[in-house]
């Protein structure tokens, strides 16, 4: 999709956007936290972070607050969650309130525009999960300049962003190209529904009919929120411009043979571990 220099407005992120996975229920979300449930993506974030007791945590685009909640349970000395959405922070605040009082006191939630972000402390671990694609390029550049100044000597940034724009452009349509005959038959027999994309060109309608065009909606890679989707190469260029040390890779949970072959570059999930260049890691 095309990138834009116009920031996303905060009011697009409604309460039900954050709670849809829990049937739009705040109670179900809070129950999932207290039962210790952590979805696979966040579990992987923690595994990569290697969070140690006493470390200071920053979560940019903290959303519902899962990473803050479990960071405190894992022994973080302090956590700071920053988000642009009032709805997100309201939910995150309720999540933190379910913790014991001594842990609640270690948490701060801040509503801030990334373009005006001013960090004060040093952080050992910063989470950037599913936020990169929501920010303009100038916002990202400003954010990384702030983070570079406020990472501790052992500090690291854990990034997850999706979808990989190469997955949308190449792997998704390639995988479905081989199912075109079956798709047409199902359409003709009305066993597979079809609704044309709104405002789509004739070509887009044809691609959509053949299942070669990825359909987005408010909850699924919304084009109104995903204004700066990345490829491994574009994320690498950004991080190199700040002289970070980093490792970037892609993942694809599909067992499709094309996914297995192409996931290194085209996998839908892009991950990165980022650090400042430092003598600390040469010891």
pLDDT band at residue 279 using 50, 70 and 90 as cut-offs: low
Span 36-67, pLDDT tens digits: 888 888 999 999 999 999 999 999 999 999 99
Higher pLDDT, 40 or 29: 29
Q: Domain boundaries in the chain?
A: 10-165+223-276, 166-209
Percent of the chain with pLDDT over 90: 78
Non-local CB neighbours of 227 within 8 Å, separated by 6+ positions: 3, 4, 6, 7, 8, 133, 134, 135, 136
Non-local CB neighbours of 116 within 8 Å, separated by 6+ positions: none
The CATH number of domain 10-165+223-276 is 3.40.1350.10: no
Span 223-240, pLDDT tens digits: 999 999 999 999 999 999
Span 129-147, pLDDT tens digits: 999 999 999 999 999 999 9
Q: Indicate if the pLDDT at residue 196 is higher than 50.
A: yes
Q: Is the pTM of this model over 0.75?
A: yes
Higher pLDDT, 167 or 283: 167
pLDDT, position 194: 86
Span 107-116, pLDDT tens digits: 999 999 999 9
pLDDT, position 283: 46
Average pLDDT value over all residues in the chain: 93
Residues 187-212 have a mean pLDDT of: 85
Q: In terms of Cα–Cα distance, which of 244, 227, 243 is closest to 157?
A: 244
């Amino acid at each position: 999709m095309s990138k834009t220099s116009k920031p996303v407005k905060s009011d697009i992120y409604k309460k039900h956007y954050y709670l849809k996975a829990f049937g739009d229920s705040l109670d179900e979300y809070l129950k999932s936290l207290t039962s210790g449930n952590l979805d696979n993506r966040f579990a992987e974030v923690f595994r990569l972070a290697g969070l140690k007791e006493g470390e200071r945590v920053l979560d940019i685009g903290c959303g519902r607050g899962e990473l803050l909640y479990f960071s405190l349970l894992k022994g973080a000395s302090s956590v700071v969650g920053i988000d642009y959405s009032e709805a997100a922070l309201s939910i995150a605040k309720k999540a933190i309130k379910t913790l014991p009082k001594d842990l609640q006191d270690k948490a701060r939630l801040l509503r801030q525009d990334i373009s005006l972000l001013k960090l004060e402390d040093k952080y050992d671990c910063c989470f950037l999960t599913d936020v990169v694609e929501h920010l303009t390029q100038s916002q990202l550049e400003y954010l990384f300049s702030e983070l570079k100044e406020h990472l501790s000597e052992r500090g690291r940034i854990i990034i997850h962003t999706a979808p990989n724009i190469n997955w949308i452009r190449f792997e998704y349509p390639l995988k479905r190209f081989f199912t075109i005959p079956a798709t047409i038959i199902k359409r003709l027999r009305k066993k597979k529904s079809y609704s044309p994309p709104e405002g789509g060109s004739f070509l887009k309608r044809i691609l959509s009919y053949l299942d070669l065009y990825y359909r987005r909606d408010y909850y699924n890679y919304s084009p109104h929120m995903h204004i700066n989707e990345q490829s491994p190469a574009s994320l690498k260029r950004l991080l190199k411009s700040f002289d970070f040390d980093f490792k970037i890779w892609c993942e694809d949970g599909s067992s499709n043979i094309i996914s297995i072959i192409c996931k290194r570059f085209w996998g839908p999930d892009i991950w990165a571990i980022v650090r400042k260049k430092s003598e600390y890691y040469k010891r």
